[in-house]
Amino acid sequence: MADNKKVNPYTSEKLTGLRIYKPASVAAGWQGVKSSILHLQKELGVASSIPLMRQINQMDGYDCPGCAWPDPDGHRSKLGEFCENGAKAIAEEATKKQVDAAFFKKHSVADLSNQSDYWIGKQGRLTEPMVLFENQEHYQPISWEAAYNLIAEELNALPDPNQAIFYTSGRTSNEAAFLYQLFIRQFGTNNLPDCSNMCHESSGMALSETVGIGKGSVKLEDFYQTELILVIGQNPGTNHPRMLSALQKAKENGAQIITINPLPETGLVSFRNPQQISHMLGGKTILTDLFLQVKVNEDVALLKAIMIKLFEFEASGEQVLDDDFIEARTTGFNDFRDELKQFEFEELCAKSGINEAEVYEAARLIASKNKIIACWAMGLTQHKNAVDNIREVVNLLLLKGSIGKPGAGTCPVRGHSNVQGDRTMGIWEKPNSTFLDKLERQFNFTAPRDNGFNTVEAIEAMHSESAKVFFAMGGNFLSATPDTEFTAEALSKCSLTVQVSTKLNRSHLVTGKRAIILPCLGRTEEDLLSGKPQFVTVENSMGVVHQSIGRKQPASEKLKSEPTIVCELAEKVLAGKTKTEWSVLQKDYDIVRNNIEAVIPGFHDYNKRVRQNGGFYLPNCAREGTFEPTNKKASFTVNKISEIELKPGELLMMTVRSHDQFNTTIYGLDDRYRGVFNERRVVFVNAEDMKERGINQKGLVNLQSSYNGKTRFAKRFKVVPFCIPKGCIATYFPEANTLVPIELVAEKSQTPVSKSVIVTMHLTNR
């Protein structure tokens, strides 16, 4: 482990005092309200919290910086349109604590890196631009002007623009994202990796190929009309808590819910709606009708088993499949059906870990319904066969004619609040030529045409020193990416690393030779241009583009908005080489939006329509049932079941989020729903696996993964016995990211395989 002078790229191995209780039986309720208030009170006080919480997700307020779950199209709750974890996100951003020049003078980079991620995040908001010069131990203040000059000098000294990498996290607004990709493409590269590469890339790939658009097809309204909802590989109680209200309403309207997950996640079992008095007096809604506790990465086997039953029901004379839909609106059905015939129902059930009676019950539920929604998140997207996982979900929906009609469709539940919008704006390493053609015409330049690096390729390029400058628009690249040691080496080989950020994180500490921090405004804060308040726009998980306006006094006078930072930097870096009037674009976001409208389809009358209540829906061919571009038909596909075979002693590890974190931002040390308190270095293990290994509750273990001849370690985890399938374990992200091999990525989407890492577990006494 690192000595005091050395920068430590890993999360702290210090244990904090684990307490284990029974997992919670109901989500939200009074405990959720109490937790929201505590977090807000601690970071900004009650008086400042009340006006802020009134504005969140209101039509004239700001968009919650947390997840991308949509707001209702019509009525918004006066009690506050937010959840417990939204309150934590606001507390984190609106905190009164500050990380200023004096802070960096006091703490060296190495000292900071030896603190826990929780401690680092809790120090407060970044308040002024800082620079870390080569071989220096402390960051020091730098003016905006000097910072831009330094970045311009490094970028322009590169022999090839493709030696620079420009990462984006998913909080960046449409306006900032559009300007950012324009600047980068004028600079000359498509090296635009983003957090999507680690998130829903597999969904985008699978959906574009099968139904013609890489986004989900449902609207919130569809939840209220549907008959059956599948929630697969998603933990909404923690990660999209407002989805529970939609599920509750769906149930009240008669829908049923099947949950497919290796863990019995509390939010999916039962829910106490904090907005409903009867619930707060003890009532609750039981959400899940059928829980299928699938083994990690065995969803394709399970889905195939279910579909075999559907075909059997059909063969016995029942009307189960939507034959007209299949005939008129799809291709590839025969190949799909013939391939399915090669599997044995019993073998598939055994592989998935679900008993035959339960699979039969699931098939019965599905057989009798015509309007089905499938929701999913990282439980499907972060596996080697992730794209196949999602294509198999699409197969099931197509069999039932359940895409492109009300009450039915695909619902990949997005993560970051504008991750979907960023892609729409062109944050993509593989832009299509239609988009580039239009961008070139609008801005009179020649755009680079070669594909750029995605996240994993970017890390590899820095590691092999074929990329030298790393620039991040938000996020925490070091801790969010796989293979922490490898990524740390990669970043350290850069000549310059730059982070546009709101809060301090580990990516500010593991740096290139020189490093810069550019502090920016957050969602909640007022954004004035020449004294005029501006709003930005974002796109939620269901393709609604709407405004977000912050009204809070910024954390510091020295902060700049992301669009301003991009425009000012572009002027410096592209000086003499750009025909774009960056200073004009910078004056008013309406001007930026007019340019977006000219380049990106679906944004006609952008400035007008986004000012109307609740914004507007982008066009969506799958929603409309036209399934472009494959002859206006959707495609059945043939998909592989998981090829993972565990050897004796091996376990399959998934990394999940606790209830007290937003990705790498650690709000607290509790995972209330799972009954784990005051500790993040835990591993959830099946009791039989513990017994076989002679490990007791709270036993201390090291984890290791071996891949392609290299062994990786994550040390000092406390064992928590848990209801999880035998052979599977769970740890938290980012503590276990050291175990995820950089080369282990999903086929086609190249998403790191963070939910199926083969590991071994070893008792230790240190």
Chain residues that interact with Mo ion, rule: CB under 5 A? 199, 415
299-to-199, 233, 337, 398, 741 alpha-carbon distances in Å: 18, 9, 18, 17, 22
Among Mo ion, ligand MGD, none, residue 232 binds (CB under 5-8 Å by kind): ligand MGD
Assess 377 for contact with ligand MGD (CB under 6 A). Answer: yes
Pick the binder of ligand MGD from 91, 182, 195, 596 (CB under 6 A).
195
Between CA 217 and CA 627 the distance in angstroms is 11
Question: Which is nearer to Mo ion, 199 or 436 (by Cβ)?
Answer: 199
Q: Maximum CA pair distance of the chain? A: 77
Which of positions 273-302 make contact with ligand MGD (CB under 6 A)? 294, 296-297, 299
**What Cα–Cα distance (Å) separates residue 457 from each residue in 140, 180, 574, 744, 757?**
32, 20, 26, 12, 20
- Which residues 59-98 are close enough to bind ligand MGD by CB under 6 A? 66-67, 85
Q: In angstroms, rounded to a whole number, what is the distance separating the alpha carbons of residues 654 and 676?
A: 17
Q: Using CB distances below 5 to 8 A depending on partner kind, what does residue 268 bind out of Mo ion, ligand MGD, none? A: none
- Token match 């784990």: residue? 676
Does residue 181 interact with ligand MGD by CB under 6 A?
no
Given candidates 234, 248, 484, 686, which one binds ligand MGD under the rule CB under 6 A?
234
Residues 630 to 669 in contact with ligand MGD, rule: CB under 6 A: 654-657, 661-665
Question: Which among ligand MGD, Mo ion, none contacts residue 570 (Cβ within 5 to 8 A by kind)?
Answer: none
Give which of ligand MGD, Mo ion, none residue 546 binds (C-beta under 5 to 8 Å, depending on kind).
Answer: none
If residue 759 lies in a helix (H) or strand (E), which one and from where to where? strand 757-763
When CB distances are held under 5 to 8 angstroms depending on the partner's kind, the choice from ligand MGD, Mo ion, none that residue 233 binds is: ligand MGD
Return the closest-CA partner of residue 258 out of 71, 158, 396.
396
How many Cα atoms within 13 Å fall on the side-chain side of residue 167?
Answer: 30
SS3 466: coil
- Exactly one of 29, 61, 216, 415 binds ligand MGD (CB under 6 A); that residue is 415
Closest CA to 241 of 23, 24, 81: 81
Q: Are strands 544-548 and 536-539 parallel, antiparallel or unpaired?
A: antiparallel
- C-alpha 487/C-alpha 459 separation (Å) is 6
- The least distance separating ligand MGD from the CB of residue 227, rounded to whole angstroms, comes to 21
* Secondary structure (DSSP) of 353-382: T--HHHHHHHHHHHHT-S-EEEEE-HHHHS
What's the min distance (Å) between Cβ of 169 and ligand MGD? 3
> Does residue 232 belong to the site contacting ligand MGD (CB under 6 A)?
yes
The CB-nearest residue to Mo ion is 415
- The least CB distance from residue 617 to Mo ion, in Å, is 22
Contact flag: residue 452 with ligand MGD (CB under 6 A): no
Binding-site member from 151, 373, 500, 536 for ligand MGD (CB under 6 A): 500
Min dist CB 299 to ligand MGD, Å, is 5
Q: CB of residue 199 vs Mo ion: minimum separation in angstroms? A: 3
Look up residue 526 and give its amino acid: E
Q: How far is the CB of 111 from Mo ion (least distance, A)?
A: 30
Q: Does 502 bind ligand MGD (CB under 6 A)?
A: yes
Burial class (CB in 10 A: 0-12, 13-18, 19+), 503: buried
Residue 25 near residue 31 (C-beta atoms within 8 A): no
Calpha distance 182→348 (Å, rounded) = 49
Interface contacts to ligand MGD, rule CB under 6 A = 66-67, 85, 169-171, 195, 198-199, 232-235, 238-240, 260-263, 265, 294, 296-297, 299, 377-379, 382, 415-416, 473-477, 480, 500-503, 505, 520, 522-523, 562, 654-657, 661-665, 733, 737, 740, 754-755
